[in-house]
Structure 1
Amino acid sequence: MKPSTCRRFVLALIALLALAALSACQREPQPEWRLTDVSGHLPDLDFKLTDDNGKSVTGADYKGKVVLMYFGYTHCPDVCPLTLTQLHVVLDRLGAPADKVRILFVSVDPKRDTPAIMHDYVNAFDKRAVGLVGSDGDVEALAKRYRSAFTREPDRADGNYEVSHSSAIYLFDAEGKARLLATPSASQDDIVHDLHLLTSMETRP
């Protein structure tokens, strides 16, 4: 190979390596999630419901906060109180970053769960929790949007009934993007770990 040809080859190789290095620097490193990564597979946080103070709210009202969304109801005998208790412990373990987090507890029992009832219920577990209620149609549409499911049992003579529902926790970043799914088997350690990552992510303008 002639010296001039060799020199051009070396310069081209250096340019190619520099371009590859620049491209690698521009790619954002992927977080090492422990929970199920649903980025790009579920829609952004979007709804129009009533919060536990009787105020009409939308998903946009929680922009800037990392959101943990859970479908349940106040008459739930076991899963809901256990889940809200676990989330309270998780946020306490998270420490100062927990101020950037909100728990959204969406009622699948609009018939019995009024804003006032929801307010007393969620605040008994954590002050960062918000109860959300809506019409049957609104709640069903929201559950369908995130591939959740629930079924109300027939009313008994005493007016009591149970509601079977999914028990996954949906995690959204501060931009309202669906990021993670925590199943009932997820450990507190894993949820705390991923919340640390979510709360430390920079929000794009």
Structure 2
Amino acid sequence: MPRLQFEMVDHTGREVGGEDFRGKVVLLYFGYTHCPDVCPLTLAQLHGIMRELGADAEAARILFVSVDPARDDPDTMRAYVEAFDPRAVGLTGSARATEALAKRYRTAFSRDPGPARPEAGGYEVSHSASIFLFDRAGRPRLIAVPTAPREDILHDLRLLIGEEPA
């Protein structure tokens, strides 16, 4: 898995890259704000983990990358991520930037036309659901799945936070 490297727009409208998160342990997750199931459940789980970390949570950041940039502009991303965790950062960008970042981390997604919830804009997005963990130097360290026991992710996150920054 490659190092944490990207150029996207965060939920405040600011251009950011992987280097902006050096010094933090990063939990990178791809999804979209209209997701009816796995995204809100995963972000709620990650928020619970951050809450359990207490003061140590300041050493970590959740990065939520939208795979639906057509609907997920910075304002939409801000409202969504802030509903889960104040340390979460929503990332969006052009379709090309999103595809390149997803490809970098071998994350699959596709827009599924057809019957969908009207509030979802008439389509859903199928996507893989891995959580990529990076150490403070941006090195990849672990891939977790949302169904992993919360205690396991919490344990691994504590180990990464406790490591000396490189």
Scaled by the length of structure 1, the TM-score of the pair is 0.77
Find the partner of 2:90 among 115, 118, 131. 131
Q: Look at both structures and tell me which one has the larger radius of gyration over its CA atoms.
A: 1
User: Amino acid of the residue matched to residue 166 of structure 1?
Assistant: S
CA distance in 2, matches of 1:51, 1:121: 12
Structure 2 residue 144 is matched with structure 1 residue 185:
no
Find the partner of 2:36 among 70, 77, 97. 77
Structure 2 residue 62 is matched with structure 1 residue 106:
no
Aligned ranges 1:134-149 → 2 under 5 Å: 134-149=93-108
Identity of aligned residues (%): 60
Aligned ranges 1:144-159 → 2 under 5 Å: 144-154=103-113, 159=121
1:128 deviation in Å?
0.5
CA distance in 2, matches of 1:52, 1:178: 23
Runs of 4+ residues over 4 Å off in structure 1: 155-158
1:185 deviation in Å?
2.7
User: Amino acid of the residue matched to residue 66 of structure 2?
Assistant: S
Aligned ranges 1:5-44 → 2 under 5 Å: 42-44=1-3
Q: Which residue of 2 aligns with 1:54?
A: 13
Q: Which residue of 2 aligns with 1:201?
A: 163
Q: Which has the higher strand share?
A: 2
User: Amino acid of the residue matched to residue 38 of structure 2?
Assistant: V
CA distance in 2, matches of 1:150, 1:115: 20
Secondary structure at the aligned position of 2:152 is classed as: helix
User: Amino acid of the residue matched to residue 202 of structure 1?
Assistant: E
1:155 deviation in Å?
6.2
CA distance in 2, matches of 1:110, 1:200: 35
Listed as ranges, the gaps of 5+ residues in structure 1 are: 1-41
User: Amino acid of the residue matched to residue 83 of structure 1?
Assistant: T
CA distance in 1, matches of 2:14, 2:147: 34
Secondary structure at the aligned position of 2:49 is classed as: helix
CA distance in 1, matches of 2:67, 2:61: 19
Listed as ranges, the gaps of 5+ residues in structure 2 are: none
Q: Which residue of 2 aligns with 1:171?
A: 133
Structure 2 residue 76 is matched with structure 1 residue 117:
yes
